[in-house]
Chain A
Amino acid sequence: MSMIHVTTTINGVAQEYLCEADETLLDVLRDRLGMTGSKEGCGTGDCGACSVTVDDRLVCSCLMLGAEAEGRKVETIEGMAEGETLHPLQRKFIEHAALQCGICTPGILVAAKSLLEHNPNPTEEEARYWLAGNLCRCTGYDKIIRAVMAAAEEMREAS
Chain B
Amino acid sequence: MVQVRIWGSLASATDDQTEVEIEAGTLRELLDGLAEKYPGLKPQLDRGVSVAIDGKVYNDSWFTPIRPDSEVVLLARLRGG
**CB atoms of A and B under 8 A apart anywhere in the complex?**
no
Chain A residues with CB under 8 Å of chain B are none
